[in-house]
Structure 1
């Protein structure tokens, strides 16, 4: 019997977003700018909520948690993607690749459930304003956030444990700009049936159930808004929800396109473009939407900048 020579892969090479050399430098500068704005915007949102006492409400507590998730998600993906634009080969050691996938999965799942919880928060605030402080108490919010991160860690752990059992002995070129589940399974030498079933099952649970929660919440919200007598009240209610709806539509649309279909059907070329939305566009979009469309945040930002300006002016003179 002939022995089969199978060399286990110890490192992967990421193909990146594009192989066109003319686009490397422009894309590097664009995504570097996007990453810096994402980090500054989300960290700025967290700091703004932390130091603005009138923003210490459940809504903004959840928003600061969303900003933390977006900042971490972008940091897990973007810096490694930028390397593709300035190096000939973007080599990723096997342990680093598994770690990147683990944290990406954890934060992506956490964002799915965070957006659902934020939709429920808006439903309670608009439909039952008198019971809002009781229904969305800080203790309830704490349990919700614990559930969100728990689901993220559970899903990431399950995926990664079964991914570690997969044997990689073929080509080590990942046709993507980060270590994701389907591009990795494409390189497998062993059966990936369990991994694909697990990916579709968890994706269905972590995408469809939160999406249905959001849809149900906004159906009740719209019903409640239509019963508001004053035009100003309706306008304020719609303004409060419209920013969240925009972020949800982009995030869930691109996520569902990538993960709610078998890997045999999924086009990895189209998947790259879809992935850009939920890994890069949404993290930069969230703070911009909530700052530009939220009056309370704009007032808090103006007040914080005035206090910083006053502090610097006061300490610039002896």
Structure 2
């Protein structure tokens, strides 16, 4: 380590510089330079994570870093974008500024950078007196006028989701010792989201987004922007085997708990075969769970007894 550098730049030089990619200028300047092909447009998204709100202080440091990055990558996936780079802000208590912590944190990021073909462009590091705080801005690209939006669903379109729903919310309960998670599957899903970047349906789906605040709440967001209603059959919602084993008493948790980071898509009937083909090609399950209706503001979840479900709360609140 170059002892002539101020402490902040010592940490950047020793731990963070290895994450820098093209455009970051070796993290020697205050800003990055980014070029994109003329046929593309940029997609930008930002998320913050706060200790004891989005993660626990004793969570593995590398998994905290990976979750931070993957939550943003999931937003890019929701618009059908390809990742390019990211900006990172780290604010930590003094005790975190040590070799072990930074090695674990940057190793987690480096592992995901290699998997998702993305690199660091820049950011900031600072201390605070109380808790860990992170903010990450991910940058992606998508062909012009091809980005999936929330506002183009049409009545009659099928409503589809990727993967399984509710595992992360159940994983949080397991970490709180409220349910058992003997094989660690649910806890793993909480710690390590799987952004569905390979399931690109920009020419197939009419609308889309990722599910971060809970299926119920995010469906309402999409339906509101598209000015449609929706009917969902809960028996069709894909649940993992551990979630199924817990029974119907945890269904509301699965539908409203959030942190799924799966895709919510509306697909016209004539494109369903193409969607299934793309699902198989990407090896990411895609399940039809209902359809859009003309009844604006009417969102109904029909349970296994053909009753309309009522929810105590609809999803995650950011404030």
- TM bucket (normalised to shorter chain) is under 0.3
Larger Rg: 1
**Greater per-residue helix proportion:** 1
Q: Give me the TM-score of the superposition, normalised by structure 1.
A: 0.27
Q: Give me the TM-score of the superposition, normalised by structure 2.
A: 0.27
**Greater per-residue strand proportion:** 2
Q: Relative contact order (C-alpha < 8 Å, sep 6+): which is higher?
A: 1
